[in-house]
Chains A and B, each alone.
Chain A
Amino acid sequence: SQQGEEDPQALSIQEGENATMNCSYKTSINNLQWYRQNSGRGLVHLILIRSNEREKHSGRLRVTLDTSKKSSSLLITASRAADTASYFCATGLNYGGATNKLIFGTGTLLAVQP
């Protein structure tokens, strides 16, 4: 079964507003990552937060991680039309070597109206 569930499934906002997406997962993790996917394209890595971190920032992105609740949130501030995409959380698990396995959540489709 999928590791992550995202909420909401779809979000429509106006340009300039903030967008918040939530992700819940089921098992212990090494890290949690967020990826963006434009329609019909590959995924682009946005940000990684390790299991011992609680908050991380990158430009207009803010990610929080609560390992006790097994949840994470992604906040995009001052959204732009170009932020329109699907956003996936992915939990990083070790295979037992150096390889990191990603289990993706169900995704949030964000539409930013100009």
Chain B
Amino acid sequence: DAMVIQNPRYQVTQFGKPVTLSCSQTLNHNVMYWYQQKSSQAPKLLFHYYDKDFNNEADTPDNFQSRRPNTSFCFLDIRSPGLGDAAMYLCATSSPPRGNTQYFGPGTRLTVL
């Protein structure tokens, strides 16, 4: 089945230790998004890629970066995680010419010790 996959599902890191979260998709969608969702809050868009074009939200901290080496994969790098970065990180995809629905992966829950 076509889907959005996130690895790992649970990630524990130490304060200040860089961490990378991974997302892959078999939907062949042009657009990939990264959202941050803190406990009991709405998902908040961090950035997205339209093909190789990177779009950063204005209020996304510099501590967060992303890479998209090819259509299928997208990575979220947190350079120096702080306690406030503990959250669920959601990856989503969409294919704008065919619709505006976004397809989400199961998420990676990040814990910062």
Residue of B nearest to A100 (CB): B100
A26 within 8 A of B: no
Of all chain A residues, which has the CB nearest B96?
Answer: A98
* Chain B residues with CB below 8 A from A35, complex form: 104
Q: Is the CB–CB distance between B43 and A97 below 8 Å?
A: no
Does B90 belong to the interface (CB within 8 Å)? yes
Check if B106 is an interface residue, CB within 8 A of chain A: yes
Instruction: Give bound CA distance, A41 to B6, whole Å.
Output: 11
B interface bracket (residues with beta carbon within 8 Å of A):
20 to 34
Q: Is the CB of B104 within 8 A of A48?
A: no
**Residues from 32 to 82 in A contacting B, C-beta threshold 8 Å:** 33, 35, 40-45, 48
Sample (12) of A-B pairs whose CB atoms are under 8 Å apart? A33-B100, A33-B101, A33-B102, A42-B4, A42-B106, A98-B96, A98-B97, A99-B55, A100-B100, A104-B42, A105-B42, A106-B41
Using a CB–CB distance below 8 Å, which chain B residues touch chain A?
4, 6, 31, 40-45, 48, 50, 55, 88, 90, 92, 94, 96-97, 99-107, 109
